[in-house]
Amino acid sequence: MALHVVGNACVDTTFYLDRLPRPGETVNAVSTRRGVGGKGANQAVAAARTGAEVILRAALGADAEADVVRATLFGELPLDGLVTLDTSTDRSSILVDGDGENIIVTAAECASAFDPSADLAALAAGDHLLMQGNLRPDVTRACLDAARAKGAVTILNPSPLGAALPEADVVIVNAVEAEALTGLADPAEAARRLSRDGAASIVVTLGARGAWLHEPGGARLLPAPAVTAIDTSGAGDVLAGVIAGCLARGLPLAAAARVGVEAAAVAVTRRGTLAACPSRTEIAALIGRISRDPS
């Protein structure tokens, strides 16, 4: 079963600060880092490192930044799903404070223009589709509809958050997004509401607390291991990508979510977005341990 990841890819510039600036204030960075990111690329690499067969569909510009993205992704997954548009490759600026919290701003010309819905004819029954909130809402909905028509499993991580939540088999949101979508501050209540509103299964990520999993058969907290976080900017993408990759490999959602939570805990101890993702060896070890311990 193949996992099709449809989203974006960009070049990230990360500024590490003692604290985030207040409105109108200039703050000097302690250090900077440049690398490849974008929720689509991040999640596709994380998924591929689970051992799943992954196809990334994303748009790049006709510029040197696109070459940087392709060079970074080469060897991680096939590149034939990357298309070139007559615009600039998307870019993100990421501010990370001394506690590892972050603010992200993205210039998304490619993502705004990209419409791969007609290219999803290759999906087959039993395949999986993973999407984020990077593309236009009408494109996201069309891709999810096309996947369902093919009998594929749909997974949605709707970040950045749009005005409405398209229907999907599995929805992965953080606690802030869950509250924004439902008006409910309690993650368990928000997950129950989201499930009633169309998503069969919900994962609400809770940062250092782990994640709340709501499935038709029940709900429970999946605690995260205690770690010292230095950069949380890539953690959500690692979690979503690892969950999708594990599902494509045939793991049940509860086990996939546990692996995702633990992989994200590794990521927050490292700097960067894509650069923070655990290796294939590390993820394989997590899958092996959690598969042996289904509790």
- Active centre residues (catalytic): 237
Q: Report which residue type is found at 39.
A: K
CB 124 within 8 A of CB 153: no
CB 5 within 8 A of CB 40: yes
How far is Cα 210 from Cα 226, in angstroms, rounded to an integer? 10
Instruction: Find out whether the peptide bond into 223 is cis, omega within 30 degrees of 0.
Output: no
CB 20 within 8 A of CB 70: no
Residue 154 CA: distances (Å) to CA of 112, 143, 197, 199, 218: 21, 9, 15, 10, 20
How far is Cα 209 from Cα 223, in angstroms, rounded to an integer? 6
What are φ and ψ of residue 139, in 5° steps? -70, -45
Residue 104 CA: distances (Å) to CA of 37, 256, 273: 11, 27, 11
* CA-closest candidate to residue 191, choices 207, 210, 172, 209: 172
DSSP tag of 206: -
Length of the chain: 295
How far is Cα 231 from Cα 229, in angstroms, rounded to an integer? 6
What does the angle CA 113 – CA 118 – CA 122 come to, to the nearest 5 degrees?
Answer: 130
How far is Cα 251 from Cα 248, in angstroms, rounded to an integer? 7
